[in-house]
Amino acid sequence: MADSISGVVATLIALAFSMSTFERYLERRRLHELAWSIALLMFAIASGALAVGAGTGWTGVSFRIFYLFGGVTNVPFLATGTIYLLFGRRWGNVAFASVSLYSVFAAGVIITARFHETLPRHVLAQAAKVLPGLPEVLAGFGSGLGSIVLVGGAIYSALKIRKRRAVIANCLIALGTLVTGASGLMNAIFDKMTAFSVSLSIGVAIIFTGFLVAADTARPRMESV
């Protein structure tokens, strides 16, 4: 029950933040906010799948949704938002197109991949054991490269842009991303499914705080984006 409740809470938090960020996009038409709202929606979908899996038992469908949106595609879209924010529309569009193609390909792979082990019904399975091979590679590539972009963006803004709000914003976004991926460190305190949802809630809250700080840091030429 606790796992399901924590998953629902994480879903509601991520969904509320996604809607708020998308509303800001509709008002200002800044594409980094669109990319971020997509990423937050993916966090909401992943935590929703986690809540369903914890509450009713894991199925192939719920696990694939959780894995695709929670471990493969969300961080790349967060990184795309950072590219829009720091480097403008041209490079952001390139990143957005690339990440979209990657996400479509990853979805096809994960939907059609066969489970190598029986999927536990009431325990969150380790993806590396049940979906090894290409799905695991895609997860490592997307999360790894996306995290590098986010951390690199924080360093770049500190060295090149030197605007205090920009530095703080990018550092918060990078920190929040690392928190969402660090649920394994919380297993000593919480059981595994609760660790994912708790760390997801905390990480998304930090990321959203970074979005709010970044609201006034966009470069002048992005005002019309």
Report domain extents, the chain. Answer: 2-222
How high is the pLDDT of residue 124? 78
How high is the pLDDT of residue 224? 36
Q: Please, what is the angle between helix 192-214 and helix 164-180, to 10°?
A: 170
How high is the pLDDT of residue 62? 92
- Per-residue pLDDT tens listing for the chain (225 residues): 566 777 788 888 889 889 988 998 998 888 999 999 999 999 899 889 988 988 888 999 999 999 999 889 998 998 999 899 888 999 999 999 999 999 999 999 999 999 988 888 877 777 778 888 999 899 889 888 988 888 888 888 777 766 777 778 878 888 887 887 665 555 445 556 666 777 777 888 888 888 778 765 554 444 333
Q: 76 is written with which tokens?
A: 């790349």
How high is the pLDDT of residue 186? 53
Q: Give the ranges where 132-214 is alpha helix by DSSP (H).
A: 134-156, 164-180, 192-214
User: 2-222: which CATH architecture?
Assistant: Up-down Bundle (1.20)
How high is the pLDDT of residue 217? 54
User: Nearest Cα to 153, choosing from 225, 91, 73?
Assistant: 91
How high is the pLDDT of residue 221? 41
What is the tens place of the pLDDT at every residue in 114-156? Answer: 998 888 887 777 777 888 899 989 988 988 898 888 888 888 8
Task: State phi, psi for 162 to the nearest 5 degrees.
Answer: 60, 25
DSSP string, 88-99: HHHHHHHHHHHH
